[in-house]
Structure formats: structure tokens, C-alpha cells
Amino acid sequence: MDIYLPIAEVSVNAGILVLLGAVVGFISGLFGIGGGFLMTPILLWMGIPPVVAVASEANHVAASSASSVISYSRKRQVDFRMGGVLAAGGAVGALLGVEVFRWLRLMGQADLVVSLSYLIFLGLIGGLMLVESVGSVLRQRRGQPPAKRRDRRPVWLYGLPFKVRFPRSRLYISVIPPIILGVFVGILSAIMGVGGGFILVPAMVYILRMPAGVVVGTSLFQIIITTSLASILQAGRNQSVDIVLATLLLLGGVLGAQFGARASSRFRAEELRALLGLIVLIMGLQMGLVLFITPEDPFILVGSGK
């Protein structure tokens, strides 16, 4: 059934949107990520204007993250204090990001920056995840012991002022690194229409050295706050949230996320990470491809008045 979206002003198939929401929601629950990095490009390919896709997707990510965070919190896998600090940074980042995106759109460079961000961030992180997790899967197959994690935490993390105790993460570190991380992810969430879990999760593991058990839940918690805020800001400043689009996506999304979260216990963490790395890498390359191939038409309409 085709449905006309009031803000995007295009007609799309409602069934496909619900299905897409469910598939991306499943992946989101499976890996404990928002899934925005998958959904936003798909929406763009469907012909949804980039501004609307990015803004409505923030809304959808908030829903699927809310759907899975509750189960993580029941298992005491959410560090609310760390999530709060990250979200404070995320709020500042989202504010900045919405303004940056507005300006980029006026300069006609929004498409370029979106493609470039996908290529750089997804390509880099996907590649790293793939290499790291394939390495550990291979080691396991060969019966070698897993590579020793460097337990020595980086000195700079401890040398900084404003130290705070994070009991659930068993950390006593400065709030500056998590805040900077939060700002960075907030900007990305406004520009790329993603939650930023694919950056947060590795950053929490490798930079903040948080215990693996609380990483996903905490990342989801911070994503809910950041994307909710980004969504309200996009609606308020740019009038670009399509509530019909977001609702169709989240109908499938919240259900898919639940099934995904259940399925996740059947896989090994390394295999999941390898698969996620592969998906992230492919998505980044696919979005970045447009920068390298010679365009069919050298001219492009960059959003009419709106």
C-alpha cells in the first residue's frame, strides 16, 4: 500500500517501510546498536529527501533503542552514571550538529559531508572491527588462548582532572574523555542520522576501558537521550521530522529489536562483532562509492526552497 508522507512529500510503500524497520530493528537488537547507519542510507535510496531521512531516522533509533535498553537494564547492564555523562556531551553535540547540518544544507554540501562521514567513520570502524574479531575467531579455532587485553589503562585517562567514580563500570576516571566522546557522537547523530553506537561501543571498550558487560546497555541508554534530543531539535529548527515515516519504521523496529535481542544469545560475541564489522564496512563503502564514480549528470538539484 502506497502512502504519501506529509513532510517528506513523497509516496512510498508502507509495507516495505514496516518490513525494513523490522529487519533493521532485528539487527539493532542483535548487536545492541541503533541501526541508523543502515536505515538512513536505505531511506536515501528510496528517494526520501536527506534532511527528512536524517531527522526521522533519529526518531526511529530512539524507539528501537528504548525497546532494547529496558531488557539490558533489567540485567543490570546499564551504567546510568556513565550514560548520563555521555549524554550531557551528546546533548551539546546534537545542538551543534543540527546547526552544522543546517549550514551545510544551505551551502549545498550536505550530501557530500554525509557520504564522506559514512565512508570515513563506517569504513574505518568496520574495517578495524572486522580485523580484530576475525583475528580472535581464528585464534579460537586454532585453540590458541585469546589475545591478552592490555589491562594497563592509558595514563592520560587518569591524569585528567574532574575524576568521578563509575561503580557499575568499576572505573574512577575523569569526565572529560566521556564528555568529548559524547559531543562527537552527538554531532554525528545529527549529521548522519545515526545513534552512533557503532562508534560508542568500540570507544567505550578501547578508550574508556569499560567492562564489556555494560558497554552495549550504556551505549543504548546514551543513544536514546541524544537521538530524542536531536529529533526534537530537527523538528523545531528544520521542521524535517516525518512522523508518519518514523511511526511506520518503528512499528517494525521495536518488534524486530526484541527478536534480535533474543537471538543474540545464540551467537558468540566475536562472531557477532565480525558480522557487524562486515555490515558496517560494506555500508560505508557503498555510501562513499558515489564520491568516486563519475556522475551520470554533472548537475544536481540540491533541495528546492525547503
Partner 1 sequence: MVTPALPPPAIVAPEPGPTVSAALTDANVRVTSAFSGAQIVLYGAVFDPETRPSDVVVIVRGPDQPIRIARKVRVAGLWVNSRPVVFEGAPGFYMAASSRPLTEIASFSTLRRLGAGIDHLPMNAPEEERIETRYGVRDVVVSRLGGDYLEWRRAVIRLKEKASLYATDHEGVRFVDRGLFRAEIDLPTSAPIGEYQTEIILFQDGEPVSRRARTITVEKAGLERWLFLFANERPWMYGIVSVLIALTSGWLASVVFRRR
Residues that bind partner 1 (CB under 8 A): 2-4, 6-7, 9-11, 59-60, 62-71, 107-109, 111-112, 116, 224, 228, 231-237, 239, 241, 243-244, 246-247, 250-251, 254-255, 257-258, 290-295, 297-305
**DSSP tag of 270:** H
Cβ contacts of 47 within 8 Å, gap of 6 or more: 10, 12
The residue among 139 and 237 lying less far from partner 1, judged by its C-beta, is 237
Amino acid at 92: V
Strands 2-4 and 11-13: antiparallel
The residue among 84 and 135 lying less far from partner 1, judged by its C-beta, is 84
Question: Which among 278, 285, 263 is positioned nearest to 25, based on CA atoms?
Answer: 263
State the nearest-atom distance from the C-beta of 142 to partner 1, in Å: 39
Q: Residue 22 in 3-state DSSP? A: helix
State the nearest-atom distance from the C-beta of 1 to partner 1, in Å: 9
Question: Which among 186, 269, 273 is positioned nearest to 233, based on CA atoms?
Answer: 186
The residue among 138 and 289 lying less far from partner 1, judged by its C-beta, is 289
State the nearest-atom distance from the C-beta of 65 to partner 1, in Å: 7
State the nearest-atom distance from the C-beta of 233 to partner 1, in Å: 7
Sign of the CA dihedral with 173 first, then 177, 181, and 183 last: positive
What is the rounded distance in angstroms from the CA atom of residue 24 to the CA atom of residue 286? 17
Instruction: Give the distance, in angstroms, between the CA of residue 46 and the centroid of all CA atoms in the same chain.
Output: 20
Buried b (16+ CB within 10 A) or exposed e, 213-227: ebbbbbbbbbbbbbb
The residue among 125 and 223 lying less far from partner 1, judged by its C-beta, is 223
State the nearest-atom distance from the C-beta of 89 to partner 1, in Å: 19
CA R_g for the chain: 19
State the nearest-atom distance from the C-beta of 192 to partner 1, in Å: 17
State the nearest-atom distance from the C-beta of 112 to partner 1, in Å: 5
The residue among 199 and 254 lying less far from partner 1, judged by its C-beta, is 254
State the nearest-atom distance from the C-beta of 289 to partner 1, in Å: 10
Question: Which among 197, 208, 202 is positioned nearest to 173, based on CA atoms?
Answer: 208
CB 282 within 8 A of CB 126: yes
Buried b (16+ CB within 10 A) or exposed e, 176-210: bbbbebbbbbbbbbbbbbbbbbbbbbbbbeeebbb
